[in-house]
Amino acid sequence: MQPLTGSKVLLIIGAITFLSVLSTAITEPIRPLFITGVGSTTLELGLIMALQSIVSVIARLLASAYSETVGKWRLILASLLLSVGSTALFAFVYEPLWFFPAVALSALSWAIFSPISLVMVLEMSAATSRGAVMGLYFTAIGAALFVGPLVCSFLTLYIGFRELYLASTAFPLLALLLFIFRMSRAEVEGGRVPVDKPVDVKSSTWSSVKRIFRVKNVTAMFYAQVVFAISYGVYSTLFSIHAEGTLLIAPSVIALLFSLRAFTNLLIRFPGGRISDRIGRKKPVLVAHSIIVVVFALLPFTRDLTLLAALVALYGVGWGLRVAPDSALVSESVNSVDRSIALAILMTMFDIGVALGSLMVGVLSSYLSISNLFLLCAPILLSGLVIQVYFIRETLN
């Protein structure tokens, strides 16, 4: 079998990533509605939504640390199998308790897949174009986040939530088949072209972690990632419930709002990476974070659907603009031998933040309204902006 070139491997990784994310993106707008519809309380909803991030915190670091020992391709295969099974499992949940294993398996799948696929992309990109290449990779994710809610909006007009989960199983199944038929070990080993030579540093995972946390750039980005993710955890847990219960918006329209956020997110990801290659990573990161602060400061007071849509679109811009520069800045601030662990920790910080945000909803929902919970995110986000302003330094070559 003819070996694949590095560019073809990147294309296939992008397609597999798109299909994997698409399944989750289709069900994301209705997940809180489905969970509460089965009978979960707000506290249980917060715990269930937080569980996904808690599982990811543990699994992602382990997957990154042992990816070379176990083998990247074996772990990706396992993650795709888990994705198929966990998506189908949601359709058969009739008691709130069973959401916990379903969410845990779903989280485990993505926690294994995401850091390994990202490191593969990094290995195939030159330092001078890394922002652009990563922008393309994250564009595949952004495209899935855009298409998924559109599919959800259309299908929820005709089928129920359970049937929607069953239909979504087709996409990770396609990703699995694509992986099996196009990404065998023989094909990839012939086609992989790592650009960066490994640094001759003998290190355990723990010593890598200690080196990483000594870098001010990285610790500042980790903190900013946590506070961004806290706001995302609050948003993902409450937005659908807020839109349906307070603003009386139909689930199909709520899905369109998710798609609008994903569309602006998608549009800015690749340009954001290219811009950061030219002007540095810090400025796009600060602009992106500032936009998100503004969104959460205004969201609690927005009742008009048009204005709400504008804020949702702006949220997508802020989110998409930060993705490639964040990852590039962290990867350029550490030794190449520590890069895989550093990026895994960056993703883990997101998981920790989402868990904190979801738990915050569960604990504080008895004392604060949904609007006040959204508003509480604004000063939390602002603290991340301040940290980045004072501690981030450029590291472009």
CATH of the domain at 120: 1.20.1250.20
Q: Which range is least confidently modeled, 30-34, 66-70, 102-106, 237-241?
A: 66-70
Q: Could you tell me the pTM of the whole model?
A: 0.73
Over residues 344-390, the pLDDT tens digits come to 788 888 888 988 998 898 888 888 898 999 999 999 999 999 999 88
Is 397 a domain residue? no
Instruction: Give the domain range for residue 179.
Output: 6-187+205-391
With a pLDDT cut of 90, the percent of the chain lying above it is 29
Is 199 a domain residue? no
Is 100 a domain residue? yes
Is 50 a domain residue? yes
Average pLDDT over residues 318-340: 81
Is 1 a domain residue? no
pLDDT grade for 6, boundaries at 50, 70 and 90: low
pLDDT grade for 268, boundaries at 50, 70 and 90: confident
Contact 317, 142 (CB under 8 A): no
Q: What's the chain's average pLDDT?
A: 83
Is 193 a domain residue? no
Q: Which range is least confidently modeled, 68-82, 187-201, 319-333?
A: 187-201
Angle in degrees, 0-180, between the axes of helices 6-27 and 130-155, rounded to the nearest 10: 30
Ordered DSSP codes for 96-140: GGGHHHHHHHHHHHHHHHHHHHHHHHHHTS-GGGHHHHHHHHHHH
Query: What count of Cα atoms within 13 Å lies in the side-chain half-sphere of residue 94?
Result: 1
Q: Which range is least confidently modeled, 89-98, 201-210, 302-311?
A: 201-210
d(CA 315, CA 326): 16
Tell me the residue type at 322: R
Is 32 a domain residue? yes
The structure tokens 């990632």 sit at 225
Is 76 a domain residue? yes
Domains in the chain, number: 1
Give φ, ψ of 245 to 5 degrees.
-80, -40
Q: Of the segments 60-74, 101-115, 263-277, 293-307, which one has the largest average pLDDT value? A: 293-307
Give every CB contact of residue 369 below 8 A, 6+ residues apart in sequence: none
